[in-house]
Structure 1
Amino acid sequence: MDLSLLIIGEVIEVRGQKVRVKVYKEKNSSNLNYNGEVLKNVSVGGFIRIRKGFLDIVGKIEGEYIVENKNINTKYSEKKDNIERIVEISIVGSISNNGKFIRGLSELPLVFNYAYILTEEQVQKIFAFVDKEVPKIEVGNIIAYEKYKLELGIQNLFGSHIGIFGNTGSGKSNTLAKIYNELFNRYNNFHNFKKNSKFILIDFNGEYSKSITETNKKLYEISTRKEKDKYPLTKDHLTELEFWSIILEATEKTQQPFLKRAIELFKNIIEKNISEEIIAQTKNIINDIFNYRDKYNILRKYYKEIIFLGFCNCQNEVKGLFDILTLNTTNNSLYLDLNLPRNQKPYFDSEIKFHGECRVSNLLSNIKNCNCRFNSITNYWYLFGFICKIQYINELKKGYILEEHIAPLIKRLDTRIPEMEKVFDINEAIMEPLSVISLVDVNVYMRKIIPMIICKKEYDAHKEKKNQGVLHIIIDEAHNILSKESQRESSMWKDYRLEVFEEIIKEGRKFGVFLTISSQRPSDISDTIISQLHNYFLHRLVNNEDIKSIGRTVSFLDNASYEMIPILPQGACIFTGIASNFPVLVQVDRVEKSLCPESDTINLNELWTDN
């Protein structure tokens, strides 16, 4: 076998990892015929090997240019003969004596070493990122080497954090569906796969309801507008100060201490007979109205609310009492504002007279077990809201808190609890191996709350298992939840939200928790999160800030690949990370039609024509 046919030039300059090679004029064709094989010749993005003694050093061509050879007498030669072709190469590894490609810079070539194009066998070795016996998935065809598929090892890809970035329409949704369909197709029939793994897919746009093949898949179509599916939580979440502080945007100095005391009361009540505790708390408040009559005007509406919220069949008694029970602020006296002359209106000048009033006694008698709304099936969301208002009344009447400090929190409570009750269910439901949470019908505020709560819940639960199985959290359109520049939220909530996901990406690997994020705006996402990813699928990005963000945070990217990001065709991406030896340009295979994410651009001609 005549290897001299493969020589295409020689090294003329070595500067660290960067090498320049002069290409011989007779080797400037696009392809070379070698023993009946058509080999791809030197071109940007391709690979060559440089022979140094018994070692083959492999480099990737990052650029090329021409220079004029001034040593040739131009008087007796044509101008084209004076031009020399130079290619710039970045060393990516070497081929060892046993024929295996080794990634990394182990040795540099010398000036005048010969450069060769690669044989088919050598190309196979370079793109063999995993051994034959190692479990792997196929992603797509390697561009410029279309005969070869990009095969990635299961361990190196899915035992890592993954980032998929690209503008809308660039193919990132197909890439996300492709790699996870390949994974499920390979392991779906194994019992241990379903037993020891859990996948949570946060789907902001409702694209993945049918796109991943998994027989044990649960789709949660969550809505804040109407009753749909609810994601299961445990009662323990309702006893966490951090949980409620974020939902209610509680201030640190005044509202969080109040919430902490309300949570303690809530914990005490749910550990006992709930209905009996509710009855006792409510009766104490009604009995104390006279003793704290100076706060009656402030608390009147809350007296009504707790009885309406906690008891049924009491509406007439509530209206009959609180619609006419009035405070005379001049002498701090309670009286019934009946249609009588002022001097004949019944005043309560003692606690005995107040409790002896039939309207008060009738209300107290109707606050009983059979009328309690928390008697049999308890709605813990509304129970928590009820307890907060009990605590608010008790502390406000005693002067422990100021109305202007806590009243905004109570108003937010009235808004957030119905929303939380629509999307979360308090039960111990058994989760399927794959859960797809569709947030397409969720309002803007809850689109940030729901993923954060679900991801933190699953992460904390998995940490307690102590390395039993793996958890994969997959977030499509991740800029919706990982944005560092959001103006719709308080700085405290934004910091907490980012801290949750930064902890997952920094510490999750050691607990078997891996994060996959897909986004069209990497510049919106925290640099800490992007830089901690291990593998990247980079589709076309055209925004300068997005491209700069990738260049600033992705350490596995070379200059040639970086400059290609804005001009990648649809479906093509640059894959780089620990699962490959170097950045690879790949055309990702299209997922079969029945499993495609619902993200294709609408066909206007079909929409607008009768046919």
Structure 2
Amino acid sequence: MMDLSLLIIGEVIEVRGQKVRVKVYREKNTSSLNYNGQMLKNVSVGGFIRIRKGFLDIIGRIEGEYIVENNNINTKYCEKKDTVERVIEISVVGSINGNGKFVRGLSELPLVANYAYILTEEQVQKVFAFCNKEDPKIEVGNIIAYEKYKLELGVQNLFGSHIGIFGNTGSGKSNTLAKIYNELFNRYNKYENFKNNSKFILIDFNGEYSKSITKTNKKVYRLSTRKEKDKYPLNKEYLFQLEFWSIILEATEKTQQPFLKRAIRLFKNILDKNITEAIITQTQNIIMDIFNYKDKYNILRKYYKEIIFLGFKNTEDEVKKLFDVLTYNSTATNLYLDLPDKSYLNSEEKFYDETRVTNLIYSIKESNCRFDENINYWYLFELVCKIQYINELKKGYVIEDHIAPLIRRLDTRIPEIEKVFDINESFMDPLNIISLIDVNIYMKKIIPMIICKKEYDIHKEKKNNGILNIIIDEAHNILSKESQRESSVWKDYRLEVFEEIIKEGRKFGVFLTIASQRPSDISDTIISQLHNYFLHRLVNNEDIKAIGRTVSFLDNASYEMIPILPQGACIFTGIASNFPVLVQIDRVNKQLCPESDTIKLNELWTD
């Protein structure tokens, strides 16, 4: 029979709520203890201790230690060092019940004079058993202070939750993100149900994960606003959603969204008809109407040209001949041709009989429509918006200053959107990595919001349709609550989209994983709604305060360690563990690790 008295290292001398102080016996002040031939690590800060109270084993975590002088000992008959006693401070984290299972929480407190014991290997295993033996789990790394034990996390409690990974650049957060999902895919990739019932969308701002996580069941979309690369698939029905176009064009709620709603209605009507005939009719009517709304001609002239160029080929000559000379005289309130003879078109008959007008109308009818064969929905929508704008502006239904900024954004956003999105319903793999390294700074905010909103809405409508996991690396780029590049209204809308996902997504099987080096930039609402946290080294005071303010699973000892964590080490805390755990995350296989290593200068500069 094992002599448990060998494991006694001291006794309780003070109990103040959850905080307990234990005096360590002088003969037990060694780094390790020999217990039946096994070398057990002795108590140290960050380790665990067992306090025996009757038949109950109370488990505490050592948060600090110090020495006190025992004034009851007569220094006359002993050396000064023999009067000093070692005291450790403990925070109670749980207990081992009658069934031998560790239970988290404060159920009972020890009493003064209760003995404190070092943990046996069996007890250590129970303390770090965060899930049942039969539950599926993944290994993420070695537990610091108990290096022979791996941190095993239950698949259900970890991936059926929102996850936050925070740390300064170079602290190891990219490796942590890759590690946990690499472990997941290694475990489940062989199952057809995993492929059929799950979708993972990884928003990769810096292009680090293209070769990472897994080699199979993965599709990488290398998006670019500079040149034609991959395109992310969108359903055609998405083109008829006001919210979709509002995101792309940053439309204001009171003035621009109602205009967009009317343009979408016209867009849908044109698609339901013969597109070529509808565009010809709309364009001809606009040209024929120039005389009736001649007082708006100077404002609309550039838009007349744009809709003709957008809709038809081989009309440049006729457009130039008419619009380069057709002018409006605001004093005489008449249209005239700016030619040597100053030909005034002061009646409808003269305008409609003018050769340049009739030739343009004829060329529109006879030239090739750009949408005859392959319909480019993006440029068709731009054309429809400008037709709608001309029709409403000339009749005074809208104010130019309100809608003109939206039309100008069309000119820049449509070419960019056309390069990154494709209208089709192609099959998507379980893991879809969206690389945004070649996307300009404005579209880096818009593209992730479109993709995440689209996937969330689709998944929400399909009940009992597996899970959707949205993973956002460098999440401060899209979840920042401080941005000078957008209006406060638009920033609020962007944050509301993701706050809805993180608040309501769980009930639909939608989970969010965010990784960031600046948690202070991210909305407190989002951080506080996360369930599990991997906290790497953070040195900025604002970032550390943001973690302390929003992470409820963190104790003081763990919080104070955040600025001094070594590379690759992190504090894991959340619903998947019973208490905060300091863990050294394993490196991902070299072939699957993210491309985020610091450049090696000596190799770069020498042969």
TM-score (norm 2): 0.98
Map 1:241-256 → 2, pairs under 5 A: 241-256=242-257
Aligned to 2:551: 554
- Aligned to 1:425, the other structure's residue is in SS state strand
Match of 1:3 in 2: 4
* Counterpart mapping for 1:1-400 below 5 A: 1-340=2-341, 342=342, 345=343, 347-368=344-365, 371-400=368-397
After superposition, the C-alpha distances for 1:448-491 in whole angstroms (9 at most, x for unaligned) are 11111100110000001113110010111111111111111111
Distance 1:124 1:298 in 2: 77
Equivalent position amino acid for 2:18 in 1: Q
CA distance in 1, matches of 2:122, 2:404: 74
Q: Deviations over 1:492-549 (max 9, x none)?
A: 1111111111111111110000111111111111111111111111111111111111
Q: Which runs of 4+ in 1 moved over 6 A?
A: none
Deviations 1:280-332 (A, max 9, x none): 11111011111111111111111111101111111111111111222232322
Q: Cα distance, 1:85 vs. partner?
A: 1.1
SS of the residue 2:456 aligns to: helix
Tell me the equivalent position of 1:477: 474
Alignment of 1:364-513 (within 5 A): 364-368=361-365, 371-513=368-510
SS in 2 for 1:444: coil
Q: How does 1:519-538 map to 2 (within 5 A)?
A: 519-538=516-535
* Identical aligned residues as a percent: 83
How far apart in 2 are the matches of 1:369 and 1:237? Answer: 33
Aligned with 1:75: secondary structure? coil
Q: Specify the code of the residue in structure 2 equivalent to 1:178.
A: K
Task: Give the SS at the match of 2:572.
Answer: strand
Q: 2:315·2:367 contact (CA, 8 Å) conserved in 1?
A: no
Q: Alpha-carbon deviation of 1:370? A: 5.7
Pick aligned residue for 2:598 from 590, 598, 601: 601
CA contact (8 A) 1:31 1:40 kept: yes
Q: Deviations over 1:76-103 (max 9, x none)?
A: 2211111111111111111112211111
Counterpart amino acid of 1:507?
Answer: E
Contact 1:188 1:214 in 2 (8 A): no
Other structure's SS at 1:155 match = helix
- Offset of 1:255 from its aligned partner? 2.3
1:111-130, CA deviations, whole angstroms, 9 ceiling, x for partnerless residues? 11111001111111111112
Instruction: Give the conservation status (yes or no) of the 8 Å contact 2:139–2:153.
Output: yes
Q: Is the 8 A contact 2:314 2:367 kept in 1?
A: no
Please tell me the residue identity of whatever aligns with 2:121.
E
Give the Cα separation in 1 of the matches to 2:124 and 2:423.
56
Q: Is the 8 A contact 2:247 2:450 kept in 1?
A: no
Q: CA deviation at 1:32?
A: 0.5
CA–CA distance in structure 2, aligned partners of residues 467 and 507 of structure 1: 15
User: In structure 2, what is the Cα distance between the partners aligned to 1:303 and 1:102?
Assistant: 74
CA distance in 2, matches of 1:244, 1:369: 32
Q: Give the whole-Å Cα distance in 2 for the aligned partners of 1:129 and 1:407.
A: 59
Q: How far 1:132 sits from its partner (Å)?
A: 1.8
Q: Is contact 1:540-1:567 (8 Å) kept?
A: yes
Provide the C-alpha distance between the structure 2 equivalents of 1:559 and 1:298, rounded to a whole number of angstroms: 65
Q: Do the aligned partners of 1:249 and 1:490 also contact (CA within 8 Å) in 2?
A: no
Q: Quote the offset at 1:369 in angstroms.
A: 7.1
Q: Unpaired runs of 5+ in structure 1?
A: none
The separation in 1 between residues aligned to 2:224 and 2:107, in whole angstroms, is 56
* Unpaired runs of at least 5, structure 2: none
Contact persistence 2:467–2:510 (CA under 8 A): yes
Query: In 2, distance between residues paired with 1:363 and 1:491?
Result: 45
Q: Which amino acid aligns with 1:293?
A: K
TM-superposition CA deviations, 1:401-459 (whole Å, max 9, x none): 22222222211211111111111112222211111000011111111111111001100
How far does residue 48 in structure 1 lie from its aligned partner after superposition? 0.7
* Structure 2 counterpart of 1:522, one-letter code: P
Measure, in 2, the Cα distance between the counterparts of 1:285 and 1:23: 92
Displacement of 1:235? 2.9
Residues 36-70 of structure 1: per-residue CA shift (max 9 Å, x gap): 01111111001111111111111110111111111
| Paired amino acid for 1:184 | F
Deviations 1:184-209 (A, max 9, x none): 01111100000000000000110000
SS at match of 1:228: coil
Farther-moved stretch of structure 1 (245-254 vs 314-323): 245-254
Q: CA RMSD in A?
A: 1.3
- 1:301 is matched by which residue type in structure 2? K
- CA–CA separation in structure 2 for the residues paired with 1:441 and 1:290: 47
Q: Secondary structure at the match of 2:206?
A: coil
Describe the SS at the equivalent of 1:486.
coil
Name the counterpart of 2:587: 590
